[in-house]
C-alpha cells in the first residue's frame, strides 16, 4: 500500500481546475488554428474568383504569411498554457503542504 498511498497523495496535489482549463485552452487553440486556416483558404478562393487583377504570387505570399502567423500564435498559446499549468501545480503544492503542516496564515499570508 505504500506505493498506492504515494500515488493518491500525488494525485491529490494536481490542480484539477487548472488541468481542465489547460485542456480547454488547447481545444480553443486547435479551433483557432483550424478556423483560421480554413478562412485563409476560403479568402484565397474568393479573391481569385472575383475577377480582380490580383497577382497570384503576391496573394499566395499574403495567405501563406497569414497561415504562418496563425501557427506562431498557436504555438505561443500552447507554451503559455503549459507555463500557467506548471505554475498552478507549484502553487497548489506549496499551499497544500502548508495546510497539512498546520501552518496558519495571518494577515498578508504570513505563517504564524
> Looking at the domain assignment, is residue 45 inside a domain?
yes
- The reported pLDDT for the residue numbered 95 is 64
- The reported pLDDT for the residue numbered 3 is 74
- The reported pLDDT for the residue numbered 107 is 58
> Looking at the domain assignment, is residue 108 inside a domain?
no
> Looking at the domain assignment, is residue 46 inside a domain?
yes
> Looking at the domain assignment, is residue 81 inside a domain?
yes
Question: What is the domain count for the chain?
Answer: 1
> Can you give the residue range of the structural domain that contains 79?
38-87
> Looking at the domain assignment, is residue 6 inside a domain?
no
> Looking at the domain assignment, is residue 56 inside a domain?
yes
Of 16, 19, 42, 57, the C-alpha closest to 27 is 19
Question: What predicted TM-score, i.e. pTM, was given to this entire model?
Answer: 0.66
- The reported pLDDT for the residue numbered 101 is 60
Q: What is the pLDDT of residues 39-88, one digit of tens each?
A: 999 988 888 887 777 777 788 888 889 999 999 999 999 999 999 888 88
Amino acid at each position: 500500500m505504500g506505493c498506492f498511498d504515494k500515488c493518491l497523495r500525488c494525485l491529490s496535489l494536481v490542480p484539477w481546475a487548472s488541468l481542465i482549463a489547460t485542456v480547454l485552452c488547447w481545444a480553443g487553440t486547435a479551433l483557432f488554428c483550424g478556423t483560421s486556416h480554413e478562412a485563409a483558404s476560403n479568402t484565397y478562393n474568393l479573391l481569385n474568383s472575383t475577377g480582380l487583377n490580383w497577382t497570384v504570387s503576391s496573394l499566395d505570399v499574403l495567405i501563406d504569411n497569414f497561415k504562418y502567423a496563425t501557427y506562431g500564435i498557436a504555438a505561443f498559446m500552447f507554451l503559455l498554457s503549459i507555463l500557467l499549468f506548471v505554475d498552478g501545480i507549484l502553487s497548489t503544492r506549496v499551499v497544500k503542504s502548508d495546510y497539512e503542516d498546520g501552518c496558519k496564515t495571518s494577515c498578508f499570508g504570513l505563517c504564524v
